[in-house]
Structure 1
Amino acid sequence: MAKAGPDVYGENQGGFSSDNSPIYGFSHMHDSGTGGSPSLGNFPIFAQPGCPNGDINACKYTLWERMIERVDGSVHAKPGYFDITLANNIRTEMTVTNRTALYRFTFPETPADPTIPSNPHILIELSDLPQTRSEANITVYARNGRITGGGVFSPSFGIGTYQSYFCLDFDGAQVKDAGVWANTRASKATSLKIAPGDVRHTPNARPAGGWVQFERPKANNQILARVGMSFISETQACANAEREIPKSNFDAIAKAAEDAWRAKLEVITIEPGGVSNVFLKAFWSGVYRTMISPQDYTGENPNWSSSEPYYDSFYCIWDSFRSIHPLLTLLDPGSQTLMVRSLLDIYVHQGWLPDCRMSHCKGLTQGGSNADVVITDAYLKNISEGIDWNLAYEAVVKDAEVEPPNWDVEGRGGLASWKTLNYIPTENLDTDGVGTETRSISRTVEYAYNDFTIALLARALGHTADYEKYLTRSGNWRNMFKPDQRSIVYGEDTGFQGFLQPRYMNGTWGYQDPIFCSPLQDFTGCYLNPSGRETYEGPVWLYTFFVPGDMVTLIATLGGRTTFVRRLNWLHESGVLYLGDEQAFLKVFLYHYAGRPALSAERAHQYIPSLFNDSVGGIPGNDDSGAMGSFVALVMMGLFPNAGQDVYFIIPPFFESISIKNGQTGKTATIRNVNFDPGYKNIYVQSATLDGRPYSRNWLKHRFFLDGGVLELTLGPKESAWGTREEDVPPSLGPFGNATVPVNATRVKRRWEMPGAAEFGFGGASS
């Protein structure tokens, strides 16, 4: 829960930025690289060498007064530790335990300003990154310098409010004076309360907090600041701090944090093969960022009592289901299991699976009910310990069948139309619930895939009738496919026909330019707001490719393999695709379904390292709590999941070999490149063996990671025939699977009903 870091002015998504933005404090909880509004960053602390002429009112209190530049080159960071020196020559090191942040301030021997005596001054402010505090209180204990307090804040991408509490203690110097401050003035009063801005509990912008002034530090000019955090009470914040850091030993705490991180990361072993450090940094940074969220708030849930784990900062599952949760399933299945249990406990106590959640508040839904995908993915990949699968099935079926009163924050809207018209209409009449009536195209294809994953779970659990029903619904994307729609870009026909288009309740068609909401046209035109359009954060060109459960039908619908590959090439080469949004990830690997895995490898190298590298701009979009990090890590590992299915696409890893030790079985799976070269001339698989036997499929099942083994890929400089046959491509299990006929033709035979198709079956938790 504790994630200590500097906060800079002007970049609030994760608190810190690696540019030259001034720093105004250090706060103790953060969400990493979020989109939308800033998040957390509650109760920042800030140190000054002293106050001019010893006058406490000559110190700087407000954010705009105290923010200061950093010393160039002074940042040193590693998992569990961060170190920076500011222009006032105060070095700040920080580390954390589960609920507590620990800072070590090293003050200059002699302040640069001769009017400043060596009486360090440390303040805490009752604020957060987005400045949403509506009310707060603070108490200063002048005898020992302890400061406690709390406040009411708003979540960054959701509804409601949350309360947060802190307990700040110091060690290393005797307290000289202490008090509270407000606006730009300090007082020796020891308590302060802030009322809401008005009766609607809007934010109160009044700067305020507490301060402590010290005698000269006893040793090394250092003062330790320990900040316990809680969502329950000030008393629990103090108890957290006292339990987790009972003694003032910064180096030991930092070492323990590093050891905890090392235990998480050491399940991966790499033989780099001489690749550039840029690739190594991009990979390990990606793995690290994947493990930052969701966050374990067990014991800190103020809304209900439960024996189940409680995780927060599912921010958002629309972003995380595609790569964050699949990567955690590979590297940290124990934590992924607890997260699934937490999702189900949220369902038990709040009635719905969340699609987004932060700071104990309901977050905004961006498309479908994507916890359904996470739950099915977990079942198929043996994430099972302590999970009640009957409860899980009940939860996903409720998403599919019952519309909530406010589907902006949970479940799905437009279910009456979904069940009768078999698509989400543009300008839909919805009398069952309230929500933002936009994104009809993207919601349709996402609902279709949500239902597809429910169908897989239904089949695995023996619900045959539900399996048929949800499998049929998964084909609803076809009802928004307009076969004669063309795409004209800058006056020229792209040469491709047939795209998803808006459709009204009476069946007539609307129009949205297939490149609208892309870098080629009005990039920001499809955000989550009442004036948004019929796709979400991406163009029709992108969403027309989103049929993850039935790619064989999509390929046939778009004109067959050759035309499909040309269309996919146009998507990646025209500039219409923005890889900084998560729905673009899967598009890198769709060539596998057309029997062209070599082209997926080409696209992977197109985007890495050009968009993913160790520069300041080395992440193409909001990291979204690790989504970008998990994408680059998985791609460089040489596999990418089709989340919600037991399918991993194979491309050559970006290293000579990579091994993953499974946390459930203790077995190790290795993917090894033969003829690997660090200049990446050989990026095409010529042949493969799995445990010494020839392997021609261009995809893997999760069983490989559970059982362990060696996948050996022999590489060459040109595309080969490996993985290109129809029997080599990943399965398509949708209602029109194995389609070889036009869109409006009679329903075709399902692929798994064909002779020999049982080998494509998906394994359950016990298979």
Structure 2
Amino acid sequence: MAPLVALCWLFLLNSVLSRGFHPLKYVDPLIGASNGGNVFPGASLPYGMAKAVADTNSTSNQGGFTLDGAVVTGFSTMHDSGTGGSPSLGNFALFPYKNCPDGDINQCVFPKRSRARFGAFSNGSVTSKPGIFGLTLDSGIRADMTVTQHVSLFRFSFPPIGSDGEPAQPLILQDLTDLADSRQDNGTVSVDSKTGRITGSAKFLPSFGGGNFVLHFCTDFKGADILDNGIYVDSRASTSVKDLTISRSINGYPLPGGAFVRFKSADDPILIRTAASFISVEKACSYGETEIPDFHFTKVYDAATKAWEQKLQPVRVSTKGINESTLTNFYSGIYRTMINPQNYTGENPLWSSNEPYFDSFYCIWDLFRSQLPFLTITDPVAVAEMIRSLIDTYRHVGWLPDCRMSLNKGYTQGGSNADNVLADAYVKGIDGGINWDDGYKAVVKDAEVEPYDWCCQGRGGLDSWKALGYIPVQDFDYKGFGTMTRSISRTLEYSYNDFCIAQMARGMGKLADYEKYTESSSNWQNLYKADQTSAWWNGTDTGFVGFFEPRFLNKTWGYQDPLNCSYLDWYSSCSLQNSGRETFESSIWEYGFFVPHDQATLMTLYGGPDAFIRRLNYLHDQNITYIGNEPAFLTVFQYHYAGRPALSAERAHFYIPSFFSPTPGGLPGNDDSGAMGSFVAFAMMGLFPNPGQDVYLITPPFFEEVNITHSLTGKTARIRNVNFDAEYENIYIQSATLDGVAYTKNWIDHSFFTQGKELVLTLGRNESLWGTRDLPPSLGK
């Protein structure tokens, strides 16, 4: 960012702050902390590496903490948010005791599974705000925590008298476990007999990929005199032994082990500063000493609050007539878009580079649809750094990742969807030091070269893709290896990936490539079976004909029930199993709409706009789709392409707040690193992206006015509703103006944000002719 622009931006933020607008009052990090939302509800900075929270033993503890009746097993400093699959991170958990019975350390309980019985707490004791988290255990111990970029600061407050009537002599342990109990051999821990500093390292497994990673930590204490310290193995401890190297054990569960410090009294809170590093113990200790030198809890929390205030300030809405729950739903969604990915710059031991390094892309199959496009509007500087990180990963690993966590390759779910992310940023003019020549080389490699392990990068089946124009079911692929399923969804996604590459090629003047990839972007049509019917399992015909179906190498047709893998199908395997279907986490019915670049041709195949709308209505009204999974997002707004934007507005108001509410159980599925949050934020803001294209579909915002200030140009885009009512009866656009000129398109482009334009929507209670003719761009007509 140029110095003058940066100064102007800071002036703008300070001006807004001085006027008393504080969006953090409307953020509730606990939304999604139960009912499978899997969010991280603890203390973090925007994109921060340190993420402190209490960990519970819930089966839905992928983000660490839950509000589902599970109990606390520890307090740890590394987490991800909203993921599915195995729990992620949660390394080197702390756990406090008021004292050990009879003063005997061996009567304190050390193993994680056993100490869970001391981890009960009341939901009413939990506090969670951006930058801080806390709760009170039923034992009377209060735990509060806040963070800097790499360091967590915990504050444990103890009752002065223990349960046995003796003065408290708190013991705080730190173990070598993680949420998934994935620790491998040769974890190490040491405790300094004088200072109580605990240091250590261990090797763990990532939650949704191959490989492993080594993490180091450094923990210091302040607030009370040390009585003694030592290490523990399994259920026994020693104050005379200060160093431990521990194996995993032989029964598939890591042998409990770690260190502890015991204190003489609990007159004052005990502060614990713990830092983590993927580089070394020494670097972890350095982070602690430089980022939190004085253990000043309030100072650290204030800094975290200011960081979040600045990130949320660009989006301001009118609160007139709006209840607080609506505002909380909106701003909490925005907040969750900035938890993951995480900025690990300077923490990548795999290669040496001056480029940023971001981790925790869970997964780009989820994130490309709305989360990263949302950040392109609200935080383009961070998006530029993420793009640079993705391209730098390509330089050193050889491929753009489709999923990446804990320094490891994650599993590829569909296509090479980082192509969509790069194209989305490119067509919207994101720069920020990005080497777009290297970016283009990366996406072309995805399209042209098959990796040996397309389980985790690139695309498989490229010989068939080029020869046949589709991915066959039971493909013969001897060049690379991955799960031989998903032939339909991969074909459709590869088609869109190629379209995105074509957009970059056109912008770079590579016209031959533009024509080539535009042509292959129509390969989706090769799996369209015009006479295919769909019936319910009781034999009742749905009444629709024409669906995508798998095809073999010899071009004959296979078959998959179009309702398999739908929300109503509880029996099919639809993920990365070897027995999985030919669509990934979604049915043929739903993938039948995934042609984001050529809705016009798809609509023609389905019989025209009216037939397209009937089919889209059936998808939603019969619960074939489910808004708790990302493929449903764009289908809410695809009525725009049939000239019925009013129906998109109806669907948005159907799903919000019915499926998205500001409660712990208020998410319809796991948040997927902020994907659900971005859906809510976009829909309530009144604009939804078709990612990879310079297109935002217009619906009325849920507020009388929305203002989005661009952090690079300093200009404010405004959407204003005329005849707005907070009961949402007037949700149909009657007319519109853009910068005072009549506007009939039902979409806008990214210049709306960068140039600070004003869109005024006049609303009414009935559908009008507005937006029915000037439709979003499509390859076909």
Q: Which residue of 2 aligns with 1:449?
A: 496
Q: 1:285, 1:629 within 8 Å by CA — same for their partners in 2?
A: yes
- Give the match for residue 11 of structure 2: none
Match of 2:238 in 1: 187
Equivalent position of 1:39 in the other structure: 88
User: Residue 112 in 1 paired to residue 186 in 2?
Assistant: no
CA–CA distance in structure 2, aligned partners of residues 387 and 213 of structure 1: 51
| Deviations 1:303-359, CA, capped at 9 Å, x for gaps | 011000011011111110111110110111000000000000000001000000000
Counterpart in the other structure of 1:491: 539
Change (3 A) 1:72 1:400: closer
Aligned residues: 727
Aligned partner letter, 1:351: G
On the 8 A contact 1:169/1:225 being kept in 2, the answer is: yes
Determine the structure 1 residue equivalent to 2:34.
none
Aligned pairs for 1:737-756 within 5 A: 737-738=780-781
Give the secondary-structure state (helix, strand or coil) at the position aligned to 2:633: helix
Name the counterpart of 2:32: none
2:600 and 2:566 mapped to 1: Cα distance?
26
How far, CA to CA, are the matches of 1:203 and 1:2 in structure 2?
Answer: 29
| Equivalent residue letter for 1:584 | A
2:153 counterpart SS class? strand
User: After alignment, is 167-176 or 53-62 more displaced?
Assistant: 53-62
2:490 is aligned with 1:439 = no
Q: 1:748 maps to which residue?
A: none
Aligned to 1:210, the other structure's residue is in SS state strand
Matched with 1:170 is: 221
Separation (CA, whole Å) in 2 of partners of 1:729 and 1:273 = 32
Counterpart residue identity of residue 101, structure 2: P
- Could you tell me which residue of structure 1 aligns to residue 517 of structure 2? 470
Cα distance, 1:36 vs structure 2: 1.4
Residue 732 of structure 1 pairs with residue 778 of structure 2 = yes
| Residue of structure 2 in register with 1:50 after alignment | 99
Q: Is the 8 A contact 2:248 2:254 kept in 1?
A: no
Q: In 2, distance between residues paired with 1:107 and 1:611?
A: 40
Whether 1:526 and 2:577 are equivalent positions in the alignment is: no
> Partner of 1:73: helix, strand, or coil?
helix
CA distance in 1, matches of 2:87, 2:736: 46
Distance in structure 1 (CA, Å) of the matches to 2:437 and 2:65 = 43
Q: Equivalences for 1:577-616 in 2 at 5 Å?
A: 577-616=625-664
**Matched residues in 2 for 1:622 and 1:447: separation?**
25
Higher relative CO (CA 8 A, sep ≥ 6), structure 1 or 2?
Answer: 2
Gap runs ≥5 in structure 1: 739-767
1:656 to 686, 690, 704: 704
Counterparts of 2:477 and 2:164, CA distance in 1: 66
Deviates more, 1:234-243 or 1:116-125: 116-125
2:310 is aligned, of 245, 256, 263, to 263
Partner AA of 1:192 in structure 2: L
Deviation (angstroms), 1:691? 1.2
**1:133 maps to what in 2?**
183
Residue of structure 2 in register with 1:398 after alignment: 445
Q: CA deviation at 1:524?
A: 5.2
1:146-295 matched pairs, under 5 angstroms: 146-188=197-239, 189-197=241-249, 205-217=254-266, 221-295=268-342
Aligned 8 A contact 2:159 2:266 in 1: no
C-alpha separation between the residues in 1 aligned to 2:55 and 2:604? Answer: 51
Residue 416 (structure 2) aligned to one of 369, 374, 377: 369
Structure 1 CA distance for aligned equivalents of residues 540 and 172 of structure 2: 63
Alpha-carbon distance in structure 1 between the residues aligned to 2:249 and 2:102: 36
Is contact 1:687-1:713 (8 Å) kept? Answer: yes
State TM-score, norm by structure 1: 0.94
Q: In structure 2, what is the Cα distance between the partners aligned to 1:520 and 1:396? A: 36
Aligned residue number for residue 700 of structure 1: 748
Does 2:561 align with 1:500? no
Instruction: Tell me, in whole angstroms, the C-alpha distance in 1 between the residues paired with 2:68 and 2:306.
Output: 29
Displacement of 1:30 in angstroms is 0.6
The farther-off stretch of 340-349 and 47-56 is: 47-56
Give the match for residue 613 of structure 2.
565
Partner residue, 1:709: 757
1:121 and 2:121 correspond: no
Matches of 1:419 and 1:413 in 2, distance apart? 11
Q: Equivalents in 2 of 1:729, 1:104: separation in Å?
A: 56
Letter in 2 for 1:732: S
Contact 1:152 1:162 in 2 (8 A): yes
1:197 to partner: Cα distance: 4.6
1:537-548 superposed matches below 5 A? 537-548=585-596
Structure 1 residue aligned with 2:110:
61
User: Is the Cα contact below 8 Å between 1:195 and 1:204 reproduced in 2?
Assistant: no
Q: Distance in 1 between matches of 2:634 and 2:137?
A: 42
Q: Which residue type is aligned with residue 190 of structure 1?
A: K
- 1:413, 1:433 within 8 Å by CA — same for their partners in 2? yes
CA RMSD of aligned residues (A): 1.1
The reply to whether residue 305 of structure 1 matches residue 352 of structure 2 is yes
Residue identity matched to 2:482: G
Counterparts in 2 of 1:472 and 1:222: CA distance versus 1, 3 Å: same
Q: Deviations over 1:387-439 (max 9, x none)?
A: 11111111100000000010000000000000000000000000111111000
CA distance in 2, matches of 1:519, 1:546: 17
User: Structure 1 residue 584: deviation in Å?
Assistant: 1.0
1:523 deviates by 5.7
Is the CA contact 1:134–1:203 (under 8 Å) kept in the aligned structure 2? Answer: no
Q: In the aligned structure 1, how far is the partner of 2:724 from the partner of 2:236?
A: 64
Provide the rounded CA distance (Å) in 2 between the counterparts of 1:521 and 1:36: 19
Report the residue type matching 1:194 in the other structure: I
Matched, 1:74 2:125: yes
Give the TM-score taking structure 2 as reference length.
0.92
User: What is the identity, as a one-letter code, of the residue corresponding to 2:246?
Assistant: I
User: Deviations 1:515-562 (Å, cap 9, x if unpaired)?
Assistant: 111122236521111110100001100001100011110110111000
Distance in 2 of aligned mates of 1:272 and 1:555? 39
Moved more, 635-644 or 202-211: 202-211
Gaps of 5+ in 2: 1-48
Name 1:101's counterpart in structure 2: 152
Residue of 386, 390, 407 corresponding to 1:339: 386
CA contact 2:492–2:594 (8 Å) conserved in 1: yes
Identity %: 56
Shift of 1:196: 4.4
Give the aligned partner of residue 84 of structure 1: 135
Q: Is the 8 A contact 1:273 1:677 kept in 2?
A: no
Q: In 2, distance between residues paired with 1:159 and 1:615? A: 35
Structure 2 matches for 1:347-386, cutoff 5 A? 347-386=394-433
* Alignment partner, residue 675 of structure 1: 723
Could you tell me which amino acid in structure 1 is paired with residue 338 of structure 2? M
Range with greater deviation from structure 2 (449-458 or 519-528): 519-528
CA distance in 1, matches of 2:389, 2:329: 30
SS in 1 for 2:530: strand
Residue 186 of structure 1 aligns to a residue in which SS? strand
Quick one: distance in 2 between partners of 1:560 and 1:72? 53
Aligned to 1:751: none
| Partner secondary structure for residue 124 of structure 2 | coil
Residue 617 of structure 1 aligns with which residue? Answer: 665
Question: Shift of the alpha carbon at 1:570?
Answer: 0.2
- Contact between 2:67 and 2:123, CA under 8 Å: does it hold in 1? no
Contact 1:142–1:175 (CA<8 Å) still a contact in 2?
no
- Partners of 2:99 and 2:169 within 8 A in 1: yes
